[in-house]
Every structure is written in structure tokens, then in C-alpha cells.
Amino acid sequence: AFAANLEGSKAFSKTVMRESGVPTAPFAVFDEFERARAFVLERGVPLVIKADGLAAGKGVVVAKTEAEALETLEAMMLKKAFGSAGDRVVIEEALQGEEASFMAFCDGEDYAVLPSAQDHKAVGEGDTGPNTGGMGAYSPAPILPKSRYGEIAELVIRPILKNLANKGEPFKGVLYAGLMFTPAGVMVLEYNVRFGDPECQPLLMRLDSDLAEIMLACVQGRLKKTEVRRKDETSLCVVMAAKGYPGSYPKGMEITGIAEAEAIPGVKVFQAGTRLVDGRALTSGGRVLGVTALGADLAQAQKTAYQAVERIRFDDCYYRRDIGAKGLKRITG
């Protein structure tokens, strides 16, 4: 429960990063609006403003103008847009670079890394519009090749495990590091104490070992003796969402075509915002389905995933048509 604060409190997480020597953006923490406002006016923009508590993946704003920064502070701290999650805010330097996700199974002392992944947080194509919980993902991330996993893990996973163990609170589970590759090197944006979503879907498609056995090894402290095998293939997930998400959206739309999509070799449809009523699948959330495919490479995984998406129907459906484009651009130059 102690380690859950790494995700539950941005201020706690940033403090632990600083204690552990993990590279991260310079930051300040405020629980008074006027002091936060004065800091913004003094520092200038761009700045990243984060609600301290959990806000369904929507409590982070990159403020590019002073007006946007002050508006964000007002919404979080005074208007309680995220309830008590915004009582305290973290304001940090805006970093420039490319993001990637890096996760590891942990048993309190040892860790076993998962392949890298990259998600698409913005709702619109070309990474435009408001941030969401994630509109799609793929693994591996071309910016973080397998050859760097060991180096990055020693930089961002090992120090956190050591710090928590030294506090008498060893962490067992999945540690997620949200990374940014900047001109100055790798920086940690955030930690989660769980799989990332939607990165989890392509990662699980690539896992070639028994997940339950690995998780049991984490709990029992025997990860070092447990093999974590990974498929060499690439995997890509497209999130099919309800139109209007991350704002208000309709619910109760009937979903058809899931079985037809899964008839394509290498495809798995992960259900999220759905419910079963009288044998019919209906939409019940913003992110409805994670349509995921394996492929020999990123281009093949992308092609197969979108072929599967085209077989699925529900009213007021929305999905990004460019999941994987960033990775392909990096691969092809």
C-alpha cells in the first residue's frame, strides 16, 4: 500500500525520485492557490501542471501560455475539477522529447523487465486535442530498443526498488516508468504501480510465459528463478472509443463484429468499457475496446489491427487512424 503512493500522489512520487537519484524534471509542490499562481508568474511558461492525486489519466496539463497555466490552477485548486485530487499540485519544467513506457515485474528485490512500449495519449490524430487514458499503443518502442533495457532498468527501476526496500516497504508487482527521451538524456515523467493501459494489451500479446506464474513469483520473492519469455514479434493496439470521449459520451450502444475480428490470425479484442445484457455486448465507458494484433514488424501489426477494427461496429464509435505512425516514421527515418 505504501508504494501505491508512487501513483496516488505526484508529490510523493517526485520526492522519491529525487531521493533515489532518478532523473526527472525540476519541480515544486503547492497546496495554496496564491503561492502556485505567484510561482507561475515568476517562472513563466511552458510548464507542466499536475493534480497531485488520481484523476483518471487526465490530471496533467502542459500549459503553453500564462493564461492556460492560471486557468488550469484555478480549475484544479479552486473549482475542484478533479475533486480532492487537485487540492495539491505539482508544477514542473516542461521537457521536450519523445515518450516511451517501460515496465518491470518486481519481487521486492529483483526485477524482470518487459519489452518497451509507446502509447498515444492525445485523443486526436497527429497527437492533437486533450489527453486521454490512451488511444492506442505498440511494442516495442523503436526509441527504446532491447539493447538498452538493462541500462534503463538500472537507471529508473533498481533505484526505486532499493529506496522502498530501505524504507521497510519492499515493492512487489509491476512498476511502470513513463519516460521521456530528451536531448539531456532519459527523464522519468511518472511511475505507476500497475501495467500501463493500453500498453498492457500489446505487452501481454508478446508475453510467452505464464502471467499467473510470474505474478506468484513476484509475491513469493523468487523472480530470479522464474523465466520471463517474450515473443520477438511486434504488437499494436487500437482503442475503439465512444464519440465524445474524454468528455461526455453516449452509452448502451450495441457492439457487433468482435468474433469476426478475432477470426483474423494474431488478433485479440480486449474489452474495457463494455457490459453484457441479454447476451448482447453494449458500450458502457469511454474507451470501449482494445483491438490488438501481432505482426512480424510494426507495419504488419498496424495493418492487421486496423483490418480487425474495420470488422467491429457500434454507433458513435471513434478511433485514431494513425496508431503506430510515429514508430514507423522513426524506423524509416
Q: Determine the pLDDT at residue 214.
A: 98
Q: How far apart are CA 173 and CA 218, in angstroms?
A: 6
Q: Does domain 98-225 have CATH number 2.40.10.120?
A: no
Residue whose C-alpha is closest to residue 101's, from 155, 140, 159, 128: 140
Question: Residue 15: in which H helix or E strand, if any?
Answer: helix 10-20
Task: Work out the number of other CB atoms within 10 angstroms of the CB of residue 280.
Answer: 10
Residues (pLDDT < 70) of the chain are: none
Question: Is CATH 3.30.1490.20 correct for 26-93?
Answer: yes
Cβ neighbours of residue 102 under 8 Å, at least 6 residues apart?
Answer: 113, 114, 116, 117, 144, 149, 152, 153, 156, 157, 176, 177, 179
Phi/psi class of residue 257: alpha, beta or left (left: φ > 0; alpha: ψ in -120 to 50)?
A: left
Residue 63: CB atoms within 10 A of its CB come to: 20
CA contacts within 13 A on the Cβ side of 90: 25
Query: How many angstroms separate the CA atoms of 166 and 186, rounded?
Result: 25
Kindly report, as residue ranges, where domains of CATH 3.30.1490.20 are found in the chain: 26-93
How far apart are alpha carbons 306 and 95 in whole angstroms?
Answer: 32
Q: Which DSSP helix (H) or strand (E) runs through 107?
A: strand 98-107
pLDDT of residue 333: 77
| Surface-to-core class of residue 179, CB atoms within 10 Å of its CB (0-12 exposed, 13-18 middle, 19+ buried) | buried
CATH superfamily of 234-332: Phosphoribosylglycinamide synthetase, C-terminal domain (3.90.600.10)
Residues of CATH 3.90.600.10 domain(s) within the chain? 234-332
